[in-house]
Amino acid sequence: MTRQDRKQLRAGLGFTSLWIFGLAAFTAYPVIASFYYSFCDYSILKSPVWCGLENYQQLIHDDLFWKSLWNTLFYAGLSVPLGTATALGLAMLLNQDVRGKSFYRLLFFMPSIVPVVASAMLWLWIFNGQYGLMNGFLNLFLERFGLHGPAWLADPAWSKPALIIMSLWGTGNAMVIYLAGLQNVPLELYEAAEIDGASAWQRFRHITVPVIAPVVVFNGIMALIGAMQLFAQAYIMSEGANGNGNASDGNPARSTLFYTIYLFSTAFQDLRMGYASAMAYILFVITAVLTWLATRLSRGQYEDAL
Amino acid sequence: MVRQPKVTRFAVQVLLVLFSAAFVVPFVWLISTSLKPIEQTLSLPITFIPRAYYATIGGRRMEVTLDFAVTQPGAVVRYLSGDDAGKAGFLGAKQLAEAGASVQVIHPVAAGSWHITQRLGDRLGENAVSPVWDVVPRDQVDSHIKIRWANYPEALSALGGDAESDRHRVGFWTFLGNSVTVAVLGVLGTVISNAIIAYGFARLRWRGRDAFFALTLATMMVPFPVLMVPLYGVFRTFGLIGTLLPLWLPAWFGSAFNIFLMRQFFRTIPEELSEAARIDGCSEWRIFWRIVVPLSTPVLVVAALFHFIFAWNDFLGPLIYLTRKDTYTLAIALQSYESQNGGIQWHFLMAASAVTILPVIVLFLLAQKTFIRGIATTGSKS
C-alpha cells in the first residue's frame, strides 16, 4: 500500500467512522448476540445459559408458533400481491393523459404517512361491527338479501381480511414509486410500437412490463419483508375490538396472533428472550429465502418478457 | 404519458374519482366522528354530519341527547337492585310487569312514537350520575347541524388519564413534547451523520469501500425483530430503559437506507468541483462542508422528512423502551388511552387520532414536491 493509498483509506474510514460504530453496535452485535441467545435459556434478568437446540426443538412442537407463522404468511401472501396490484393500477391510471393528476396523487399518497397508531384507531372504528362505516356501507346492499356485514375484527374468519383491506389504504407510497418508474418509459417506444401496429395489450406486455418489472420486484420484496413483521396494527386493533385481555393474545381466537406479536410477548412479557431469539432467527431465514426466491423468479419472468 | 381516445380518458377519470373517494372517505369519517356528540357515534343509520337535537320540555326548548327511540308502551325506569342498581333504562309493558318492585318507574310511556331524551347539561354536569330523563313525542324533536369542537380539548385532556408525575400533571403536552424531542433529535442525527458517512462512500476512493457498501446495503434486509432483544439488552445495561434516548441515539450513527439515499445524490455532483478544490489544497472535510453539503439541500431535506415521519409514527420502539407514562410519545399515549377505559369513546379517540395525524399531514402538504421526488428516487435500486 502506497502512502497515497493509506491516506485515502484513513480519510474513507474517518468519514464512515460513525457508521462503523453504528453498524457494529446497532446491527452487527445484535445479529450475532441474538444468534447466540437462540441457543440459550435467557430471561434478561440473569445471564444466558447455553441449552443447545432446545429452543428450536420446542418451537417445532409449539402450536402457537405455527399458528402465528400461518397467520403471518396468510396476511403477507394476500396483502403484498393485492397491495402491489392496487399501487400499480393506480400508477397506471395516473400515467394517462388526465386532468388533476397531482391532486389525485396527493390523495392516494396521504394515507401512507398517517401514523400507524392513528390509522389503527381509525380502521378499528371503520370495522366496528355495529356502528362502523364499513358495515354501514355494506349493509345498504346486504340487507336486501337479509344479510349483515361480519363483525370483522371480532370474527376470527374476518379479522385478517380486515387487516388486509386496511393495508390497501396505505399503498400510496408504492404507487408514487411505480408512477416514477412508468414515467421513465420513453414515449417514442410507445409511438414506434403503435406505428408498427402493436395493440394496447402488446404495448403493455412488451414495453411497460419489462421497464417496470425490476421496480415492482424490488418494492415487492421490501413490502414482503414489512408484511412479515406486521405488528402495530394487529396489536392495537385486536385489543380494541375484543375488549379486555392481553393485546398480544391475538384475539379473536388467535386469528391475529402474528409472528412478531408472538415474538414480542415471548420476549417482553414472558421474558423468554432465548426462545424469542430463536423465533427471530427463523423469521430472518424465512425472509432471506423469500427474498431470494422472489428475485430468482422475477429474473426469469423479466427476461421472458423481453 | 400516453395519449388515449376520448372514451378511455373518460373511463380513467371515472375510475380515478371512485378510487380517490375510497381513499378519502376514511379521513372524512375520522373528522366527522371527532366532531360528533357521543350518542351520534352509537346510532344507526350512520351519518356524516354532526347534529344537535332540541326538544321542548316543560315549556322550555332545550338541547337534548337522543338516548333511544321507542314505539311500544312501557316505562323509563330506574333499577333498584341487581348489577344495574341506580342505572336507568326502558322496559316494555311485559318486562315491566315481570320486574315488579325491583324498578322504580320514572316515566310511563304510552303507545305511540317517542324519543327518550336526556338533558344535555346533565351529561357533564352535577347530575351526571342521575341524569334527567324525558319522554318526548318523536315529531317534536328537531335538529340542526352543530359541530362539537369541544371534543378536541376534552379528548386531549383525557389522554393522560389520571397519571401524575412528581412535578406536574402528565398529559397531552408531555406526550407532544416527548414526540417532538425524539423526532427532532433523531432528524438532526440522521442528517448530520448520514451526510458525513455518505460522503465517505460517494466521493472518496479507498480500499474496501465497495465491499463495505455492499455490506451496508445487506443490513437493510435484517428484520427488526432480530435486533430487538439484544438492543433492549444493550440499553438496559446502560440503564436507558424508560428514557427517550434509545429512540433517537441510534440515528446519530447512520442508517443503511439514508447512506444509500445520500450517496446516490452526492455522486451526481460533478467531480471536477472537488478536484479543483483539492488542487487548491482544500481538505476533504472542507470540500464536504463547503461544496457538497450546500449543493445537497434537496436530499438532506428528504432524509429529514423521512426520519421525522418514521420517528413520529414509530410504535414498536416506544412500546419496548418506554416504561413510565411521563416518557410516553403521542403514539403510545394514544394506544394506552384506547385501552384504559372499558368502552371506547369513539368521538374522543378520533379527535386524539386526528391531532396525532395533523403534524405529518401539514409537513407533507408543505413539502409535497420534495416528498414525492424523494420517494420516487428511493424505489429504484440502481
The 10s digit of each residue's pLDDT in B198-219 is: 999 999 999 999 999 999 988 9
Quote the pLDDT of residue A265. 92
Residues of chain A in contact with residue B45, where contact means CB-CB under 8 angstroms, are: 136
Q: Which of B29, B223, B259 sits opposite A283 (nearest CB)?
A: B223
Q: What ipTM was reported for this prediction?
A: 0.90
Task: Flag whether residue A45 sits within 8 Å of chain B, measured between CB atoms.
Answer: no
Beta-ladder partners of B133: B118
A31, A41, A117: which to substitute to probe chain B, counting the most B Cβ within 10 Å? A117
DSSP state of B131: P
List B residues 115-154 in contact with A (Cβ-Cβ < 8 A). Answer: none
Tell if the CB–CB gap between B380 and A14 is shorter than 8 Å.
Answer: no
Please report, for chain B, the start and end positions of each structural domain, with discontinuous segments joined by +. 51-146, 172-378
Q: Give the pLDDT mean for B178-191.
A: 96
Whether A195 is covered by a domain: the verdict is yes
Residue B358 pLDDT greater than 90, yes or no: yes
Whether A271 is covered by a domain: the verdict is yes
Tell if the CB–CB gap between A228 and B223 is shorter than 8 Å.
Answer: yes
Tell if the CB–CB gap between A133 and B46 is shorter than 8 Å.
Answer: yes
Q: Give the pLDDT mean for A137-157.
A: 88
Domains: count for chain A: 1
Round the CA-based radius of gyration of chain B to a whole number and report it. Answer: 30
Q: Which three cell numbers stand for residue B210?
A: 465497495
Quote the pLDDT of residue B320. 93
Whether A197 is covered by a domain: the verdict is yes
Phi and psi angles of residue B143, each rounded to the nearest 5 degrees, phi first: -145, 155
d(CA A238, CA B339): 11
d(CA A218, CA B59): 71
Domain B172-378 CATH assignment equals 3.40.50.2000: no
Whether A4 is covered by a domain: the verdict is no
Contact A132, B43 (CB under 8 A): no
Residues of chain A in contact with residue B366, where contact means CB-CB under 8 angstroms, are: none
d(CA B54, CA A173): 46
Tell if the CB–CB gap between B339 and A105 is shorter than 8 Å.
Answer: no
Residues 6+ apart with CB under 8 A from A257: A64, A67, A68, A71, A248, A249, A250
Whether A95 is covered by a domain: the verdict is yes
Residues of chain B in contact with residue A179, where contact means CB-CB under 8 angstroms, are: 376
Q: Which of B16, B259, B315 sits opposite A19 (nearest CB)?
A: B259
Residue B380 pLDDT greater than 60, yes or no: no
Q: Which three cell numbers stand for residue B305?
A: 422528512
Task: Flag whether residue A223 sits within 8 Å of chain B, measured between CB atoms.
Answer: no
Q: What's the pTM value of the predicted model, to 2 decimals? A: 0.87
Q: A25 to chain B nearest CA, in Å?
A: 9
Domain residue limits at A278: 56-305
Residues 6+ apart with CB under 8 A from B313: A113, A114, A115, A116, A117, B331, B360
Quote the pLDDT of residue B127. 45
Residue with cell 391531532: B355
d(CA A39, CA A181): 45
Residue A301 pLDDT greater than 60, yes or no: no
The whole-chain average pLDDT of chain B stands at: 84
Beta-ladder partners of B78: B88, B104
Q: Give the pLDDT mean for B167-194.
A: 90
Whether A289 is covered by a domain: the verdict is yes
Residues 6+ apart with CB under 8 A from B370: B298, B301, B302, B305
Tell if the CB–CB gap between B376 and A179 is shorter than 8 Å.
Answer: yes
d(CA B29, CA A128): 13
pLDDT digits (tens, 9 = 90+) for B270-281: 988 888 988 988
In terms of CA atoms, which chain A residue is nearest residue B377?
Answer: A177
Better-scored residue on pLDDT, B318 or B90: B318
| pLDDT band with cut points at 50, 70 and 90 for residue B141 | confident
d(CA B38, CA A7): 70
B229, B247, B249, B282: which to substitute to probe chain A, counting the most A Cβ within 10 Å? B229
pLDDT digits (tens, 9 = 90+) for B119-129: 765 444 444 45
Domain CATH code at residue A205: 1.10.3720.10
Compute how many other C-beta atoms are within 10 angstroms of the C-beta atom of residue B105: 14
